[in-house]
Structure 1
Amino acid sequence: MNPSASGWINKFGSLVEKERDRYSSFDTLYRDLRSTGFVYGINMGIPQFIVAEHKLSEDECAKINLLNALYSTYTLETSKTDFKAFLEEIFRFYKELEIGHISLLSKILTGSQTAAHLEKLIDSRVSLGDNLISKTFNSIITNSLLFIDVLLFKRYLCNSINIREQAQLVEYLTINITYHALSSKEKNKSDERLAQLFASSLTFIEIDSQNFDGSYREKLLENRSEIENRYFLDVACLAVWEDKSLEYQESEFIFGLGKDLKLAEEDILNSLEEIKIFFIKNSKTIPFLKDTNLAIQFYDNMSKMVNKLILRNSKRLQKELSESKELVYLISKSTLKDLTPEEKKKVQNQLIDIFKSIPSLAIFILPGGAVLLPIFIKLIPKLLPSSFDENRVEK
């Protein structure tokens, strides 16, 4: 399954039909979503029954996890498994929340199928940036508060009245809990990036309107569902454990919050243990923990994007390259020594001709797209016959 290509939602629907009994309760679903990082807003894995064609990026994992969480919530709350009925319900849900407006152009391009529209909507929910520049210069591009959609959908299926007001309240509580959890410790750069990530992910409230004076506790003490309270506690644990330690003041905050949320001490200890395990397993790859300068960040992000484009279009690229022997020769030559200015110009012109024939590579022919060509040329030898690269080390 490829969540970056059209039709992936219908593909998910065909796969999930064989996995109808995988979650016996919302508790088992929650634990699975927490283990993949979806609850924390850091998507490091996907459900085991999904087999990806290629290594997935964080935003692609987030798409799969969000759809899986929403569909599983639907089946648990309604005892229905009709995937088409679910799609119609989830689309109505997002309309009630007044988000994900789809432009007329998008409607024309995707047709009248609800699944096609929903692909666009989910993409807009998952990605914080809607253009190349924002994604390039910000390594954190995935909405960290997507689990709130799941909590709201659960409420919506029971009572759809005032669902947007509920969305505003849950976001308000989440961002306040995060702020006060971070304030219970000595802040570092990772804390600042985490706070920025959560603030950037807000949909229903404005961060500038928050005063963080502690008045949120009155709302927090109101009667809320246990699963919402567990989410609030896990978010707080994420904030305090990010530096891989738990000081006395931080511990006092977590246990005090857990008590306010009417959670048992066992549940509090479990939340702390789960976030500890998650960080031990994923700390080297969690985006907001990486401290790189802007140039390295730009190169890394563009390399990932170009690499994904190459992998997704490898067969078509191989076909196009096979029809241009001179281009193959020049690219192969570039892996061994520098090309002359004339040769470089030939490579650029011929590559752009190829990109014109593959729509998903249109980014290369946009103004400024030529800056990506060196990255492309560095990665493209993977598609060429080994005889063209004498220094290739086969894995």
Structure 2
Amino acid sequence: MYFGPKFELMNPSGPGWINKFGEVVRNKSGMYPDFSTLYANLKEYGFVYGMNVEIPAFITIEHPPSEDERAKINLLVALYFTFSIERREGDFEEFLETIFAFYRALNIGRSSFLNKLLTGKKTSDKLETLIDSRVYLDDNVITRTFTSVITNSLLFIDVLTFRYYLRGEKDLVAQAQKLEYLTINITYHALNAKEKNKSDEKLSQLFAASLTFIDAEEQKFDGSYRQILMENCSPWENQYFLDVASLTVWEDYSLDYKESQYIYGIGKDMGFEEKQIASSLEEITIFFKKNIDKITFLKDTNLAVQFYDSMARVVNKLILRNSKRLQKELAESKELVFLISKGTVKELSASEKKKVQDQLMDIFKSVPSLAIFMLPGGAVLLPIFIKLIPTLLPSSFDENRVVKKEENPQNKDYKKNL
């Protein structure tokens, strides 16, 4: 689908990115004539499957987007165009107020920590913080990242619940709980319909770690979900369940008889014809063939290594995107620079380590995009930050750094970035 010329660059990890998004989609509210068209595109991007491999072509970013940035962009695209389709207009300020009210009604962002971050901010800034909390998993970014690898795999449930909210329905939390309950049950029983392998287990962990409204450990997988599924009358919720089931049983571009029997069984429970079920299976096959190298959970990597690499990429991205502000803050923190420099050649004392942590936290408070460091367990990221930080500091800090051939010390831009 062609979306017209590209727009100004957007930085989804910097402050003000939601307002920039508002400029990008100005006069574009009619881009999707119906939810069917939107859903098809979100499936191509991987958002429906919880694997964000692409973003819309009409959004341009200066740097290649990371997995969490793709998730944030696709979530906002999905929410905004769902709003414009349901309300038949695309006033962006009204959208901001509506989506913020929606998340508050869902009790997202009401933790004491997030409340502190939200105090005194305008709506777009608050929404940036809330979306970060959804993508980075608002419970405990460190422990849950081990299984979810940064992004929330069930973010499309936000979109379905938002659509429900826009239609004036009540009991939002109960609706979100029902959607999560059905999704996790479908995943569980679809996996039981096949011989499990390591990828299956990681997929199961990925979905379980992404739950927001229910506790997977307290769920009973006794098959009673099938009755709820049969009584569910929302066609797009059912389409999502069918696609999740197809995603779960996919393996080596083929399905054995037992797996297809399960898919066709729940598909018929939800009122789908055989050709619609076959289409869902074909679409997931095409998606994997096209994007298999981009899908993290399929890579057979030690989870601890995967965690470290993932978080290193996140911290590296945050340093890159906020380099100017960090340079300024570090320049004003001579004691911190001295202690970090000292720590490269000898062990710091407990009190010195505490000073480093406290001063870094003060810096993170001044740069909104670095709020991830202040989440519960965020201090675990500090060693990664300190390891990557020398490129921001004066060359005298890191005398042994080898200048790459493409770096020209005489170049003004190079000097400025040191």
Taking the TM superposition and a 5 Å limit, the aligned residue runs for 1:68-79 are: 68-79=77-88
Aligned counterpart, 1:376: 388
Take 1:4 and 1:314, find their aligned partners in 2: how far apart are those partners?
12
Structure 2 CA distance for partners of 1:172 and 1:85, relative to 1, 3 Å: same
**Given the alignment of the two structures, is residue 169 of structure 1 paired with residue 178 of structure 2, yes or no?**
yes
Q: CA deviation at 1:209?
A: 3.1
Residues 299 and 221 of structure 1, relative CA distance in 2, 3 Å threshold: closer
**Pairing 1:64–2:73 present:** yes
Counterparts in 2 of 1:114 and 1:341: CA distance versus 1, 3 Å? closer
Please name the residue that 1:210 is paired with.
219
Q: Which has the higher contact order (CA 8 A, sep 6+)?
A: 2
Quick check: 1:290 aligned with 2:302? no
Number of positions where the alignment pairs a residue of Structure 1 with one of Structure 2: 387
**Can you list the C-alpha shifts for 1:191-240, whole angstroms capped at 9, x where unaligned?**
11211221222222222332212111111111512211111110001100
Could you say if the C-alpha distance between residues 210 and 389 of structure 1 is closer, same or farther in structure 2, counting changes exceeding 3 Å?
closer
What amino acid is aligned across from residue 371 of structure 1 in structure 2?
Answer: P
Match of 1:5 in 2: 14
Counterpart-to-counterpart distance in 2, 1:266 and 1:205: 33
Q: 1:187 aligns with which of 196, 200, 206?
A: 196
CA gap 1:3/1:294 in 2 versus in 1, 3 angstroms:
same
**Cα 1:113–1:242 shift into 2, 3 Å:** farther
Question: What's the C-alpha RMSD, in Å, of the aligned pairs?
Answer: 4.1
Moved more, 29-38 or 97-106: 97-106
8 Å Cα contact 1:107-1:117 kept in structure 2: no
In terms of mean alpha carbon deviation, does 218-227 or 127-136 score higher?
A: 127-136
Give runs of aligned pairs for residues 76-225 of structure 1, distance below 5 A.
Answer: 76-101=85-110, 103=112, 106-107=115-116, 110-128=119-137, 130-131=139-140, 133-134=142-143, 137-138=146-147, 140-225=149-234
**Contact map agreement 1:102 1:121 (CA 8 A) in 2:** no
- Matching residue's letter, 1:233: L
Is the CA contact (8 Å cut-off) linking 2:187 and 2:248 kept in structure 1? yes
CA contact (8 A) 1:102 1:117 kept: no
Query: Judging changes above 3 Å, is the alpha-carbon distance between structure 1 residues 136 and 88 closer, same or farther for their aligned structure 2 residues?
Result: closer
- Stretches of structure 2 that go unaligned for 5 or more consecutive residues are 1-9, 333-343, 348-352, 408-418
Closer, same or farther: CA 108–222 of 1 in aligned 2, 3 Å: closer
2:148–2:205: 8 Å Cα contact kept in structure 1? no
Match of 2:29 among 20, 31, 35: 20
Q: 1:272 to 1:303 in 2, by over 3 A?
A: same
Provide the secondary structure at the position in 2 that maps to 1:214.
Answer: coil
The structure-2 alpha-carbon separation of the partners of 1:203 and 1:291, relative to structure 1 and needing over 3 Å to count, comes to same
Residue 284 of structure 1 aligns to a residue whose secondary structure is helix
* Deviation, structure 1 residue 391: 6.8
The TM-score with structure 2 as length reference comes to 0.77
Shift of 1:48: 1.6
Shift in Å at residue 179 of structure 1?
Answer: 1.0
Change in CA separation of 1:108 and 1:197 when aligned onto 2, cut-off 3 Å: closer
Letter in 1 for 2:269: D
Structure 1: which 5+ residue stretches go unaligned? Answer: 324-338, 343-347
Normalised TM-score (structure 1): 0.82
Deviation at residue 147 of structure 1 after TM alignment: 0.8
1:196 corresponds to which letter in structure 2? Q
Task: State the match for 1:392 in structure 2.
Answer: 404
User: 1:265-284 maps to which residues of 2 (within 5 A)?
Assistant: 265-284=274-293
Task: Report if the CA contact (8 A) 2:135-2:151 is conserved.
Answer: yes
Mapped to 2, the partners of 1:311 and 1:251 lie a distance apart of 46
Give the letter aligned to residue 80 of structure 1: E
Amino acid at match of 2:242: L
Query: Which stretch of the first structure deviates more once superposed, 223-232 or 203-212?
Result: 203-212
